[in-house]
Amino acid sequence: MSGLTLRRRPDRRAARPARDAVPVVLTDRYSPLPRKVAVRVIGYGLLALGTLLYLGPFLVQVATSFKTDADAVANPVSLIPSPVSMAAWEIVAGSNPAYSVPVFRWLGNSFFVTISVTLGRLIIDSLAGYALARLRFRGRTVVFAGVVAVLAVPGVVLLIPKFLVLNELGMFDSYSGMILPLFCDAVGILLMKTAFEAVPTELDEAARIDGAGVFRTFWSVILPLVRPALVTVTILSFQGSWNEFTHFLIATSDPDLATMNLGIARLTAGGDLQGSQQFPLKLALATLSTIPIAIVYVFFSRYFMRSGSATGLK
């Protein structure tokens, strides 16, 4: 017995690799940081470049309105007037007797036409959108196809037919000829139709069970639920009619009916500036024309392009 040597058997369980073991890969977690920083810097750089390209002409316009005529010709893209001159804005305000520019008449015509067109579009677009979204009548698909087809027709193509129709109806050189043809807006109708389709039809059925007619259902139940779409149509209609030029060009030749854009164009092309270029005056008028659009957009921007509507059933 003394000659026997006892050997310990190796533990095979310890040598076996664990089946559930997850291999550990050592990586530097800070290595992707430079790439992220580079991508972010490039993205912000492109955004800054786009902003500069977009706002650059507007900044040049505002700066040139405070220049003298000689400085505007010598340094057309400079953002620092040298010297600073208020001569152009004095002409706009009517305090310079050497120039007679009916700015306030142009502004009055622009506001009257723009507000009238905006109200008319709100009424017609909402009614037409509700009819296409909710009512079932013969030819509804054809009407909707016609509305969509209007979007494919360039507005310039319709200028001569518009002029002939306005002249034949005796609406040339009148506010009615400037306002009524702009009431129908295909984009506004499509926006309102989409907004009405997002409202549950159960609301219409509940209103009709309570005895409400079609118009009462539209006015009291459905229309308040699409308020964001109404605000969007208001902004687009105000902006579009305020910036409209080609329609007013063929709708009137009366200087007393000229809007802001039409008046600036005729002032520039008509040689009413006593032979001088007057770039500061032209750009001061252009800057004044952009102020109402900016004010409307700032006040209603939080509603802009909000297409959803919140609804509930009781």
Q: What is the pLDDT along the chain (314 residues), one digit of tens a residue?
A: 445 555 555 555 555 555 555 555 545 554 555 778 888 889 899 999 998 888 888 999 999 999 988 898 888 888 889 889 898 898 888 877 777 788 999 999 999 999 999 999 999 999 999 999 988 888 888 998 988 888 888 888 888 999 999 999 999 999 999 999 999 889 999 999 999 999 998 988 898 888 888 899 999 899 999 988 898 899 899 999 999 999 999 999 999 999 999 998 888 776 555 555 688 988 999 999 999 988 888 887 776 655 444 433 33
147 with 262, same domain: the answer is yes
Total number of domains constituting the chain: 2
Q: Are 268 and 129 in the same domain? A: yes
Whether 199 and 245 map to the same domain: the answer is yes
CATH of the domain at 185: 1.10.3720.10
* Domain-located, residue 79: yes
- Residues 237, 130 share a domain: yes
Give start and end residues of each alpha helix (H) in the chain. 12-15, 33-64, 69-74, 87-93, 103-134, 140-151, 159-168, 175-179, 186-197, 202-209, 214-216, 227-242, 246-251, 260-269, 279-300
Indicate the residue among 58, 85, 112 that finishes a domain: 85
- Say whether both 125 and 224 belong to one domain: yes
* 186: containing domain: 103-276+288-303
Residues 119 and 69 in one domain: no
Residues 182 and 79 in one domain: no
State whether 111 and 244 are in the same domain.
yes
